[in-house]
Homo-oligomer: A and B are copies of this chain.
Amino acid sequence: MAIRKIGIFTSGGDSPGMNAGIWSAVKTAKFLGLECVGIRRGYEGLIENDVIPLRLDDVKGIITQGGTILKTARSKAFMTAEGRAKAIETLKRHQIDALLAIGGDGTFRGALALMQEYEIPIVGIPGTIDNDLFGTDYTIGFDTALNTAMTCCDKIRDTAESHGRLFFVEVMGRDSGSLALHTAIACGADALLIPEDTTDMQRLMEKLKAHESKARQESFIVVVAEGETQGGALSIAAQVKEKFPVYDTRVSILGHVQRGGNPSAFDRILGARLAAEAVKNLMQHERGVMIGIMNQKIIETPFVQCTNSKTIAPIDLMKIIE
């Protein structure tokens, strides 16, 4: 059966560059003679029949915008057979022949569940700021979040240096230290704490010991991954303060600013490339795969693999911070 109409949705945590993906998918679909509709709020919208037209005019200019014009959500209802039955109703009602899913591993798990129950080709592209998806060297949104976190650290360096302060800067990444690791290198951080490294706390203490004579004269910045296992930036700062009272200590939790903002060139191009490729794959009756980029090449990875494995942060890069 020929593919004539594609439904596009974003799901899970939003990330900058998702809109570039939507834009490119609509453009490519039009080029190939396909129609597009948007499903709002991920699987929630699929269940609730929240479907909107997506023509070229609807996506005009969105390549520059953060967030996702299709909105996103995490759907509990979709984890039930009942929820998925409603989703299938929506697909039938709108004669949607195939789905482009933009999101992370939860998104692809949902896609797998749906494909087991209904004959619908789904192809995914990786949208998350965490850069921990198996099957791609980069996820859409990572580079923007990295530049945002780095810019924040640069600003914090300004004031830390003026006051001679020790800062703990908490960067997003509940399960992965990738964003924190790259942020630390990019801002020239003095130390780094990530879940992937169990020896870092000890090294931090050694460094603080060595730097003690310069405390209050010079800045010292520790980047802490959100998922760090010592209890988070606030707790670590308290421990350090107790051990090294000479330091004038501050904590900054960067938070949700890391999820927004106009996407960087890298994320726009990545989103545009992967989405264009995904639409072509759907056209060719591919299904159940995520389109990623590895070693500079566009590749496909079955959803099953994407949901069972994680990409590990390149911790050998930590040595640059030593």
Q: Which residues of B contact A157 (CB under 8 A)?
A: 61, 64, 67, 260
Smallest CB–CB gap between A222 and chain B, Å?
Answer: 14
Interface residues of A in 66-87 (CB under 8 A from B): 66-68, 71-73
B163 touches A71 (CB 8 A): yes
Interface-facing stretch out of A1-9, A148-156, A193-201: A148-156
Interface centre among A66, A161, A186, A319 (most CB of B within 10 A): A186
SS of A interface (majority): helix
A244 sits at the interface (CB 8 A): no
B276 touches A159 (CB 8 A): no
Bound-complex Cα distance A162 to B265 (A): 21
B14 touches A158 (CB 8 A): yes
Q: Which residues of B contact A272 (CB under 8 A)?
A: 185, 320
Q: Which residues of B contact A162 (CB under 8 A)?
A: 10, 14, 67-68, 71-72
Number of contacting residues on A, CB 8 A? 73
A296 touches B255 (CB 8 A): no
Q: Which residues of B contact A10 (CB under 8 A)?
A: 162
A303 sits at the interface (CB 8 A): no
Bound-complex Cα distance A164 to B71 (A): 8
B14 touches A163 (CB 8 A): yes
Given the contacts A24-B320, A162-B72, A320-B24, A261 and B66 also touching, CB distance less than 8 Å:
no
Smallest CB–CB gap between A205 and chain B, Å?
Answer: 19
Interface residues of A in 85-135 (CB under 8 A from B): none
B186 touches A16 (CB 8 A): no
B256 touches A255 (CB 8 A): no
Bound-complex Cα distance A256 to B248 (A): 14
Given the contacts A150-B265, A163-B14, A265-B150, A256 and B61 also touching, CB distance less than 8 Å:
no
Taking A16-B158, A71-B217, A276-B319 as known contacts, 9 extra A-B pairs with beta carbons closer than 8 A to each other, sorted by chain A number, are A24-B320, A67-B159, A72-B163, A147-B265, A158-B259, A158-B261, A185-B269, A185-B272, A273-B317
The 5 closest A-B pairs by CB, nearest first: A155-B260, A158-B260, A66-B158, A295-B295, A67-B158
Contacts A/B (CB < 8 Å), 24 sampled:
A14-B162, A16-B158, A27-B320, A63-B187, A64-B188, A66-B158, A67-B158, A67-B159, A73-B163, A143-B266, A146-B265, A147-B264, A150-B265, A152-B257, A154-B262, A155-B261, A159-B259, A159-B260, A167-B256, A185-B272, A252-B256, A264-B264, A273-B320, A295-B295
